[in-house]
Structure 1
Amino acid sequence: MRKNNFVVYSFLLAFFFISALHAQTAISIKNPKDAPVISKHIYGHFSEHLGRSIYDGLYVGEDSPIPNTDGVRDDLIQALKDLQIPNLRWPGGCFADTYHWRDGIGPQEDRPTIVNQWWGDVTEDNSFGTHNFLNLCEVLGAEPYLAGNVGSGTVQEFSNWVQYVNHDEGSPMAKLRKENGKEESWDVKFWGVGNEPWGCGGNMDAEFYADLYKQYATFLTSWDKDTEMYRIASGPSGNDYHWMEVLMKEIPAELMEGVALHSYSVIDWSNKGPASEFTEDHYFATMTEALKMEEYITKHTAIMDKYDPENKVGLIVDEWGGWYEVEEGTNPGFLFQQNTMRDAMIAGATLNIFNNHSERVYMANLAQAVNVLQAVALTQGEQMILTPTYHVMKMYTVHHDAQLLPVNFESPDYTYNGESLPAVSVSASKKDGKVAISLVNIDSKKENEVELDLGELDVEGMTATILTSDKLQDHNTFENTENITPGEFKDFKIKRGKLELTIPPFSVIVLKSE
């Protein structure tokens, strides 16, 4: 009898263990009429004068044998166009508060050189300046986002830059622009007032910066033009809620349209870990930091709601992404790192967070576009590769300016060494009658079964794309440029308004209604 009890007990244990492994996560998707729109600007990018981001990345010069348009690589232009890049932030970053815009205008042979004191102490010749950048944005169809010099500049210098790019005629700066070959103004909307004033932008405290911001913002105006000025205050890093509280309390709403937030997925600033040859310890720690974005946005939004209940001020996450040790043999100040399936997980999960908080999150800028940190493209001479992060962002273009469809579910856990993280993240949207659903499973080993309730969406058929690979450390190389590319995903079924599928480990899936 005891033996039989033991057999039954063992069977039950095995049954519950197997059931747990195959437990299905139920996800409901709502379709409220008053849901916010997911701004396309959430999918913005960032190019700083840092390492090989501008020079030898974006800009190779008009005399380069590499095919280019006004010195900018044609292959990169096409890649960014395919990504439907909505905006591009420039010239920094830390570099912004050392940059004097007049050094980068006029004949290139007359432009002074500058030592990039933040990134590698390299000497730059200012051959890529305001005209180059704003003309590139026109080619890309992207909104420029200019970060002005507050740390080492003046109010007059900043105001003159606004005049130079936005004033049609009748001012000295408009006259100077015309002399430099640009008759019509660019009408730049997005302006960042400094960068990280709590750090490289001047080591200020929040109260000092709030007063300084008000001074600068007062003189940033479009005069009598119809151009909308969107002034962005340099906000907190991560969980610095005091900084956000001070800015929201002290800066009048009529002087601030947006406030920035910076958050990088960094294990330890003193030992950031390798970019490609990482362990699961590294991976779990990185994802722990990446998923803190949910907490940061929720708590910063609560502060903003207190002072701005009408939601007039946008949250601008204008620096985010993974940050690791540089690749062996490269300049430590250039921040060049490989881009693996871990970065795809950061991108997919973070973008889902942004989408689901789109009532407050208006813009975000991945750091950075090319050859720096979590880049979407890497270049080497005439070659260029697209990274897993690029492919995720391209898959997510279906969410650009689409109406959010709120989701509700309890995520299964990704458990490692006794600690747990939510394994699955989801966001959904609807545009022109078409539904899009993005799902991410960050679990390094376990697949996760999900059931999506489509009852409110009137969906009959869907197609799907997946990004996955054999190992988390997999990446594209200049020898194997398509080691990781999106593929068609068919392993799902829709029956009586329910969609069932299994998400493989560390993968991203985007479904679209037909």
Structure 2
Amino acid sequence: MPHDQATWQLWIDRPGALVSPFLFGHFAEHLGRCIYEGLWVGPESPIPNQDGLRTDVLAALRDLPVPVLRWPGGCFADDYHWEDGIGPRERRPRRTNLWWYGEEPNHFGTDEFLALCRAIGAEPYICLNVGSGSPTEARNWLEYCNGSGQTHYARLRAQHGHPEPYGVRYWGVGNENWGCGGHFTPEEYAAAYRRFATYLKPFTRTTRSRIELIACGHTTPDWNQRFLAALGVERNPRLLDLIDHLSIHRYFRGPHDRDFTAADYYWLLASTLQLETDLRRTRDVLSYDGGQKRLGIVVDEWGTWYDQARAENGLEQVNTMQDAVVAAGTLNLFVRWADWVTMANLAQTVNVLQCVVQTAGPAMWLTPTYHAVHLLAAHRGQRVLPADLETPELTVSGPAGTSARLPLVDGAASRSADGRTLVLTLVNRHLEEAIECRISLRGEGRIDGGLHQQLTADDIRAANSAADPERVRPTRAPFPAAGTTVAVTLPPHSVTALQLTLVSP
């Protein structure tokens, strides 16, 4: 029997922001086995492939789905020169992978990335090289992807077998330029950003493809404010035309991927609460312009990162039920923040950090995180519902005598455009105890059954593997409850998704 109880009131007549599919985006970098062995095996590989792309991974990503994919980095982006990765593969130069060790063969470049995006139905998001690149290089890359007519790079793309423009809409102007992307100060980055954007934005006028630019932000309180002030948007509001979104990153650090204690588990979950503080601070900075233009927040790197994941081992770590709990809580947060968060990208897609797919030679399996993302993706295209969640809490202890209050139940609610479907996603963070959640509707309508899906495991350290690829997977069952108040039991360390039919009272 559940030890504790949570109550959740939903105002079903007050739908809010639209939940963008891009909140469930992903990120792939030339790091470890993410690209090579993960996504790309080459057309000559005995592993089944579609023009070099692993067919089993393609199928898994299509089914997830992946609405937007960020590439080529990450730190790799600011030392990547895109022309190394086009044309006949046997002629492409090998380069040193400056940040992640080894050599980069450049067999997977722009055309391969865009073929991947088309194969899985993802919108491409390309991160430009600001740290060691130039506005000219960035502008030429944009022309290669989106240019038409008889311009040099449009013709070059056609020579490589792609006569029609790709129409890439999302472009990141550098990555972590406060760190591996060049160690810029906010003022230095503002000057660089203004130069790059000045030569990129005119493509919106000269081609039929609209582009949106994503500036590099930070989670420290004053970095974003100093960047925007130095950019000059307060003095010259027209400069707002040069920027559409501001990005931040947040990793949740833990000492062990699998050999963790209960205290480690609870402190990791408490650390995820910092992301909402990051969002509030970023929102407050972006609210300065008095409504002239709403800039979106892009969280284009997020996820767990354990001490075992190092550059030497390609940032690989075991993905357990713990990671699924973290992923579901984070995606719930993005849904609740759908009025401000315009995109989020889980790091990274295959084999690296909090990946959704893992491979070992010809074997491929889905991680617990994959299943959590798949359950939460039911919110896509719906309207967020205001909700009041009362949940038991736990005081958890951290390093150096720190402590935090951890809400044990977390949730997000949305309603379909036609008003007939409610999607409710709930996380029970308690390691050992079930919690009953009583859900009450406020407004005109009642529940008339639906679908109940749940992801949990007998052990929080449970993981899928080549030998046991389905140890952690969700269950599906009808949800027969009806009325304006229903109850659902949330097992320990679990993710629950309800898709409920809403009818007139």
* TM-score normalised to structure 1 length: 0.91
The whole-number CA distance in structure 1 between the counterparts of 2:350 and 2:322 is 18
Higher mean Cα deviation, 68-77 or 172-181? 172-181
Q: Secondary structure at the match of 1:38?
A: coil
Residue aligning to 2:185 = 205
Post-superposition offset of 1:248:
3.5
Contact 1:160/1:173 (CA < 8 Å) preserved in 2?
yes
Post-superposition offset of 1:143:
0.4
1:256-275 per-position Cα deviation (integer Å, ceiling 9, x unaligned):
011101000014xxxxx121
Within the alignment, does 1:350 sit opposite 2:330 as a pair? yes
Contact 2:42/2:51 (CA < 8 Å) preserved in 1?
yes
1:315-362 per-position Cα deviation (integer Å, ceiling 9, x unaligned):
0000000001336xx862510111001100110000000000000001
Equivalent residue in structure 1 for 2:24, among 38, 43, 52: 43
Could you say if the C-alpha distance between residues 140 and 277 of structure 1 is closer, same or farther in structure 2, counting changes exceeding 3 Å?
same
Contact 1:453/1:499 (CA < 8 Å) preserved in 2?
yes
1:458-502 per-position Cα deviation (integer Å, ceiling 9, x unaligned):
321121100001111111111100000001256x77354001122
Superposed counterparts of 1:109-120, under 5 Å: 109-119=90-100
Contact 1:163/1:173 (CA < 8 Å) preserved in 2?
yes
Post-superposition offset of 1:299:
2.1
Q: Secondary structure at the match of 2:84?
A: helix
Within the alignment, does 1:29 sit opposite 2:17 as a pair? no
Contact 1:290/1:350 (CA < 8 Å) preserved in 2?
yes
Post-superposition offset of 1:393:
0.8
The whole-number CA distance in structure 1 between the counterparts of 2:434 and 2:376 is 21
Post-superposition offset of 1:210:
1.1
Could you say if the C-alpha distance between residues 315 and 32 of structure 1 is closer, same or farther in structure 2, counting changes exceeding 3 Å?
farther
Residue aligning to 1:443 = 430
* TM-score normalised to structure 2 length: 0.92
Q: Secondary structure at the match of 1:219?
A: helix
Equivalent residue in structure 2 for 1:73, among 54, 62, 76: 54
Residue aligning to 1:12 = none
Superposed counterparts of 1:55-454, under 5 Å: 55-119=36-100, 121-221=101-201, 222=203, 223-236=205-218, 238=219, 240-249=220-229, 250=231, 251=233, 252-267=239-254, 273-307=255-289, 309=291, 312-326=294-308, 332-416=312-396, 419-431=404-416, 432=418, 433-454=420-441
The whole-number CA distance in structure 2 between the counterparts of 1:305 and 1:289 is 26
1:163-190 per-position Cα deviation (integer Å, ceiling 9, x unaligned):
0100112311111111111100100000
Contact 1:341/1:474 (CA < 8 Å) preserved in 2?
yes
Post-superposition offset of 1:127:
0.5
Could you say if the C-alpha distance between residues 305 and 331 of structure 1 is closer, same or farther in structure 2, counting changes exceeding 3 Å?
closer
Contact 1:493/1:499 (CA < 8 Å) preserved in 2?
no
Q: What residue identity is the alignment partner of 2:89? A: Q
The whole-number CA distance in structure 1 between the counterparts of 2:351 and 2:189 is 32
Gaps (5+ residues) in structure 1? 1-17, 268-272
Paired residues, what number?
484
Q: Secondary structure at the match of 2:446?
A: coil
Within the alignment, does 1:467 sit opposite 2:447 as a pair? no
The whole-number CA distance in structure 2 between the counterparts of 1:352 and 1:397 is 10
Post-superposition offset of 1:77:
0.4
Q: What residue identity is the alignment partner of 2:70? A: R
Post-superposition offset of 1:91:
0.3
Q: What residue identity is the alignment partner of 1:213? A: Y
Gaps (5+ residues) in structure 2? 234-238, 398-402
The whole-number CA distance in structure 1 between the counterparts of 2:79 and 2:404 is 43
The whole-number CA distance in structure 2 between the counterparts of 1:401 and 1:248 is 31
Q: Secondary structure at the match of 1:512?
A: strand
Contact 2:376/2:497 (CA < 8 Å) preserved in 1?
yes
Could you say if the C-alpha distance between residues 412 and 92 of structure 1 is closer, same or farther in structure 2, counting changes exceeding 3 Å?
same
Query: Aligned-residue CA RMSD in angstroms?
Result: 1.8
Higher mean Cα deviation, 430-439 or 76-85? 430-439
